[in-house]
Amino acid sequence: MIRAGVSGLLLAASAPALAEEARFCPNRPSLGASGCTTLPGQVQVELSISDRAFDEDADTREEVFLHGDVTLRTGVTRRDEVQIGWTPFGTVRVRDKATGTLERTHGTGDVTLGWRHALSHPDGAAVSIAVQPYVTLPVGHSGVGAGDWAAGVVLPVSWELDEQWTLGFTGQLAAATDEDGVGRHFDGLGVFGLGYALTDALTATAELAIDRDDDPLDHATRTMAGASVAWQVGKRAQLDVLTVVGLNDDTTDVRFVVGGALLF
């Protein structure tokens, strides 16, 4: 009886840990961010297999290709995680319509370091709120990297309305790198999202984003719409696709992203 009682206590004590053994909550493929944090001892890898953007105006056509864009997330406490993001290789191609000349730049991108602290519901359930300061280090190749450091803070909020519908908002304030690669300026972003669970494993999300960029060379307000589908393969893997369409002339015309996430 004593042995059975001890065994019961051990099982009861370990139940919460078992319940959260796989806290899997990718940011992907959202334009915004999640308030969920990775548990200590776990590493979540989020990878873009292909990330392509196209923008065209009266004079030029620009294409940006990012290959293997990756973010590593690991828990420090039950409410805190650290993040490291890097673009291993990127290509930028700009074609002059009048002359037909093609300018091509390629190389590695910058590194971004972030810290996420969950203010409520670090598992992403109910009303989940977090704060995430970050800094970007200018280690990338000119033309692919920004050219100077940047920093900011992200505030992700999500609200599970029921078992199928989720509302989301992500706010971001940043000291973004100037377009000429020297100095910084104010940049504010807001992303509004609505997610719907088609099945237990398949979720579709629609988003609207507004970005105010006060770059000294080109003050602009950019608006875009995103549509994504995420397919969770088991408890520790996800495949996803994202399409983003620019809604005004200051915004990149279209962007396609394919990738996924793994939890170790």
Count: domains in the chain: 1
Residue 91 lies inside a defined structural domain of this protein: yes
CATH number at residue 59: 2.40.160.40
> How far is C-alpha 206 from the geometric centre of its chain's CA atoms?
15
Task: Report if residue 209 sits inside a domain.
Answer: yes
How much is the pTM? Answer: 0.88
Mean pLDDT for the chain overall: 91
Q: What is the pLDDT of residue 66?
A: 94
Q: Is residue 94 one of the residues assigned to a domain?
A: yes
Q: Residues 69-127: pLDDT tens digits?
A: 999 999 999 999 999 999 999 999 999 998 989 999 999 999 999 999 999 999 999 99
> Does residue 9 lie within any of the structural domains?
no
Q: Which residue range is the domain that position 59 belongs to?
A: 24-263
pLDDT over 50 (residue 252): yes
Domain membership flag for residue 13: no
Is 4 a domain residue?
no
Q: Is 32 inside any structural domain?
A: yes
3-state secondary structure 169-182: EEEEEEEEECCCCC
47, 260 Cβ separation under 8 angstroms: yes
Which residues, 6+ apart, have CB-to-CB distance to 59 below 8 Å?
Answer: 96, 97, 98
Contact 214, 187 (CB under 8 A): yes
Confidence of residue 164 (pLDDT cuts 50, 70, 90): very high
Is residue 8 included in any domain, yes or no? no
